[in-house]
Structure 1
């Protein structure tokens, strides 16, 4: 008599050690995703020269990508809500691969922009789903640490992805950097397929009397998130232009970005250790360091040593930002984890795209020396939102 094969046991949230394989897969996928988004930053001078456009116009490659994410995060997350979450992530990684191949082969700036928009559409889904995914791999009170560990992949994108792509592009051509990145995206897809367990979706918050307060708290978190990313990318999109204008040699640009980015791991480690215990304090300290570093950069410019030192402080603070806002947003329970992820993703990319565009306007108008002051003022505004938003950024551990 034939017997039916037993159903596989569904994934049960556990501690961080039990979820280590899945968290590593998400961190690796996040690394290639962030590198794909930001790789033009270090290559702007090379891309603008090769495609005969200005550096400000080349910076719009970051803007177009980010605005695709901002516009599509919620619609695509909603459209794919019935699909298996793991399959959606794997599909996004495949599109990242294709986008980078097209950029590497594109003969015109217009085609490069189209390929970047394709990558932006993939990014819209990837981060919306991955934020909720990471929070489902562990028990709720460990969500901060899980998200901080996954965002180490984002920090690694700054530490390794962008600087190494810049060094490679400087040495053998910017197109080669995109070919290598396409290979890394494909590899990340294979490892994600092997290591990441499937988890169920859902998880909508209860429809009770506190629903309005939770949504208000979520709005506060996403507003602060947008302001921080707007301020950061107003400056960071043109960091290579700033460093070169401060007297740094072209050959030293990649190593300098590598060193500055590596310091972001300090902030990421701080977030991992503190978020599940002191969310509000961690957020305030993080934004104070980011704002101080960016404003100090403006004061130090065009001195080479002072500019590099200020950028280092700024990088330490920003290394914690992704985990801070993802954790705060998830804990508001203002929407389902995937919708929360979409909102965090969309507002971050409004900041990224808006920052690239705003930085271009300031760069072409007032000049490079003014760019850090504009960015720093926006981060200070985000800090004010956090200080006023006690429900959005509560003291104490999860649930307390």
Structure 2
């Protein structure tokens, strides 16, 4: 049967090395947002057309994450990450050499095909090695790579793009990915595949709270990316020069480090309150940006606060999803990735439409409306999705004999019937490794 003993490596060991892979992937995804003017000029398209490099990337993640994750479910973690990293090397090199917009789109879609698989595995692997009451902190550790990418990766890439060329920035990203390939034997211990209980996405959606969390996440993320996808033209609108965009994004990301730290402190103690405060404050910041116009100093202060608040939300929202469905964490993680990337793509498209029809000054208003809608959903969901009292125990995953190497599907009715209260009787969850750990990705 699957072992319930925590590996001797300790709760932090698998998460921090995995962060380096998360850093590389998020920088790859987000860097075009900081280089829209250069990409637009170099590829001969409008800035909204260049923004589609982000939107299409996100939509491919939505379409392929679940089937590819299912096909690679039994791969050892090291092999999975090596293959994914090699794909990122290829994608970034092809983008750097792209002779046309069509070639650039193809290069981006290659990386997008594996991006979601990576991010459906990383948070789940971190949580399987800690007690249920520390799930939020484990997720915060993983999402630190997201913040680090925004704090250092995107600003550095933007600075390289401004100083040299946007092609040089993507060559640098490919070099980072090559270094990860070389370092993988040190960063990641070899693991073997293990039998899995395959939970369908439809079954996970039927669990109490999962749909609500997904909708709330999608709305607030859509609001953020409707303006962040066009951050370069927005910064120019409020009076920041093209050369100054990199330093502003650096400060934006550094503020996010504070946001992630705050999340790590609050997520396991006051998860509902923290989520309401972060989401509500973010909506207010977007609304304020809509009226500050070209008051550069005030707008920049609000942008920094925006970076702090937004960076804390992913860990809060994904922790809520993992807590709501402890018996289906791998499926829920994949759904979360799909929801976020729907927001990235949808936000890029919606923001592009607003940019073309109303101008860049209207982008914060769209973001404020979307974030406000998310806040109202969170405020009303106090039973399963965002409970008033933190859940201190997760469901123990049913055991399965190790000699059964064939994954078994879980039907919707039986999964929906297994609630945390039912499965708490199975044993001490502080020693359990949830379902995704049996997928060969958790050390």
Structure 2 alignment gaps of length 5 or more: 394-443
Show the counterpart of 1:341. Answer: 333
Equivalent in the alignment of 2:365:
373
| Alignment correspondent of 1:48 | 40
CA RMSD of aligned residues (A): 2.4
Q: Closer, same or farther in 2 for the Cα pair 1:21/1:189, shift >3 Å? A: farther
Distance verdict in 2 for CA 1:395–1:86, change over 3 Å: farther
Q: Name which of 354, 366, 372 aligns with 1:362.
A: 354
1:383/1:99 CA distance change after superposition, 3 Å: same
Q: Structure 1 residues 123, 234: closer, same or farther in 2, change over 3 A?
A: same
* Residue pairs, 1:107-256, within 5 angstroms: 107-197=99-189, 198=191, 215-256=207-248
2:389 to 390, 396, 400: 396
| Structure 1: unaligned runs, 5 residues or longer | 1-8
Contact 2:219 2:374 in 1 (8 A): yes
Q: CA deviation at 1:82?
A: 2.7
SS of the counterpart of 2:269? coil
Q: Match of 2:291?
A: 299
**What is the rounded CA distance, in whole Å, between the counterparts of 2:95 and 2:149 in structure 1?**
19
The whole-number CA distance in structure 2 between the counterparts of 1:309 and 1:68 is 35
Q: Secondary structure at the match of 2:294?
A: coil
Given that 2:15 and 2:125 are in contact with CA atoms closer than 8 Å, whether structure 1 keeps it comes out as no
Aligned length: 388
1:331 is aligned to: 323
Taking structure 1 as the reference length, what is the TM-score of the superposition?
0.91
CA distance in 1, matches of 2:215, 2:285: 21
Equivalent residue in structure 2 for 1:24, among 16, 26, 32: 16
User: Which residue does the alignment assign to 2:270?
Assistant: 278
1:192-240 CA distance string (max 9 Å, x none): 442234486677699xxxx999713111111111111111000101111
CA contact (8 A) 2:97 2:167 kept: yes
Change (3 A) 1:185 1:305: same
Distance 1:82 1:103, change over 3 A: same
TM-score (norm 2): 0.83
Select the residue among 304, 308, 312 that pairs with 1:316.
Answer: 308
Bigger drift between 248-257 and 169-178 goes to: 248-257
